Amino acid sequence: MTKATDFIPQEYTHEVTEKGNFQWSAPSNIALVKYWGKKENQIPANPSISFTLNNCKTITKLEFEPIKSTSENFSFDLFLDGKSKEDFKPKMQKFFERVEIYLPFLKDFHFAISTENTFPHSSGIASSASGMGAMAVNLMSIEKLFNPEMTEEYFWKKASFLARLGSGSACRSIKGSVVVWGETESVENSSDLFGVEFSETIHSNFQNYQDTILLVDKGEKVVSSTVGHELMHNHPFAKNRFEQAHENLAQMKQILIHGNLEKFVSLVESEALTLHAMMMTSMPYFILMKPNTLEIINKIWKFRQDTGVQVCFTLDAGANVHVLYPENDKEKVLQFIKNELIVYCQNQQYICDEIGSGAQKLN
Ligand code: PMV
């Protein structure tokens, strides 16, 4: 079994004396079985499984230049859409601190990190998964210069491991269409340390599965994910919830293999509502859904009942609704969304996405 210490490099075989740059994109992901609650060092309290998205992604260029004398501090500039972004720096600083022992070269370089997202600004779509994912693969590209013999397997595993240290769910944004994170009996080789690609063949019903994201509320969340995870400590229902996630993941595995859409719909919706039920039963309690979130959920239930189309919703830690449906039903569902759901979105905004495959190298 892989341990965290396996990612501390032995001596590097090569030196990096020239400046250079890499550019990668990494996508967002949407969990089917949700991660909520964590232990120290970004270890999840329960396993999760997600679809990797295709269109919602972060593109990050990482320029690096060796510094003559090794400095005490990390040296980096951060740009979002070409503009210096001072308020992102503390998060990056913290990330560098966490990963330094696994990437001992970090203080030998000055970095210019230029990042952009394909989804609209402050859309309420978290960019932390895609952002940390893109950063992690870029850093692995640099490590590969020090250690060109590195295997593909190590590259991807460690990229996911590093991404996790940036933002938990980011470890599911690195490689594969369906990714499991968190050690669980039903998935061989699953790990708390990194995401693993779902190794079974997925039923054709899920091929190019669609995710239309309805932007219900673009405002700042009232409670951050960090605080939300924290509130699962001493939560009266935490123990049962964590056990349930293992069971639900085992069920989801069978559903993805056999293609039972009715079971998929009920498990995905139950997981979304359970996540929010955990928030509502935390102390202090909080609600991230908005009235329009509920309007949309009720419309989806009615549409499903009236038409038999297996469309369902899921939610992240926010008010936006992810509408999931098979590619075959794309036209019908998009028409339904336009006719009945976009009135509940801020400025009628929504994003059409579908299952993707993970991070991509752009240069
Ligand atoms: O990765 P974090 O700490 O932002 O947590 C995200 C958790 C959920 O999005 C609510 C669920 C999940 O598994 O992605």
Where do you find CATH 3.30.70.890 in the chain?
210-354
Q: How far apart are CA 273 and CA 314, in angstroms?
A: 8
* 3-state class (DSSP) for residue 186: coil
State if residue 30 touches ligand 1 by the CB under 6 angstroms criterion: no
Given a cut of 70, the residues of the chain with pLDDT beneath it are 121-124
Distance CA 192, CA 184 (A): 9
Protein residue with least CA distance to atom 6, ligand 1: 169
CA 126 centroid distance within chain: 8
Q: What is the CA angle 310-264-217, rounded to 5?
A: 75
Predicted local distance difference test score (pLDDT) of residue 81? 94
For helices 261-280 and 238-258, give the axis angle rounded to 10 degrees: 160
Q: What per-residue confidence (pLDDT) applies to 124? A: 66
Note whether 76 and 37 are within 8 A (CB): no
* Centroid of ligand 1 to alpha carbon of 126 (angstroms): 9
Cβ–ligand 1 contact at 167 (below 6 Å): yes
Q: What is the pLDDT of residue 121?
A: 66
What's the CA dihedral at 57, 148, 195, 351 to 10 degrees? 10
Give CA–CA dist 23/361, Å, rounded.
6
Neighbour tally for 337: CB within 10 Å:
22
Q: 81's torsion region: left (phi>0), alpha (psi -120 to 50) or beta?
A: left
Ligand 1, residue 33: give the atom nearest the CA: 13
**Cα gap 116→24, rounded to integer Å:** 11
Closest to 130 in 3D by CA, of 189, 178, 174, 86: 174
Quote the CA–CA distance of 341 and 350 in Å, as a whole number: 10
d(CA 146, CA 128): 27
Q: Are 235 and 282 in contact (CB under 8 A)?
A: yes
Q: Encode pLDDT of 14-66 as tens digits.
A: 999 999 999 999 999 999 999 999 999 999 999 999 999 999 999 999 999 99
The CB of 242 under 6 Å from ligand 1? The reply is no
Which regions of the chain carry the CATH code 3.30.230.10?
4-200
User: Helix, strand or coil for residue 5?
Assistant: helix
Mutate which of 28, 32, 36, 48 for ligand 1 pocket (most atoms within 8 A of beta carbon): 36
Centroid of ligand 1 to alpha carbon of 149 (angstroms) = 34
Give the Cβ contact number of residue 27 at 10 Å.
27
Candidates 3.40.190.10, 3.40.50.450, 3.30.230.10, 1.10.3720.10; correct CATH number of 4-200?
3.30.230.10
Return all residues near 189 (Cβ < 8 A) that are at least 6 apart. Answer: 196, 199
CA distance 201 to 176: 12
CA dist., res. 277 & res. 200, Å (int): 31
What tens digit of pLDDT does each residue of 63-84 get?
A: 999 998 777 899 999 999 999 9
* Nearest-angstrom CA–CA distance, 186 and 347: 43
Query: Closest by alpha carbon to 198, among 26, 31, 315, 27?
Result: 31
Tokens of 351: 């994003």
Give phi and psi for 27, each to the nearest 5. -90, 170
**Choice from 225, 226, 274, 322 to test ligand 1 binding pocket (greatest atom count within 8 A of CB):** 225
- Could you give the percent of the chain with pLDDT greater than 90? 92
* Topology given in CATH for the domain delimited by 210-354: Alpha-Beta Plaits (3.30.70)
Quote the ligand 1 centre to 50 CA distance (angstroms). Answer: 10
Complete edge-to-edge strand list for the sheet that includes strand 321-325: 312-315, 321-325, 210-214, 350-354
3-state secondary structure of 233: coil
CA distance 300 to 306: 10
Tokens read off for 224: 């951050």
| pTM (predicted TM-score) | 0.97
Q: What pLDDT does residue 123 have? A: 66
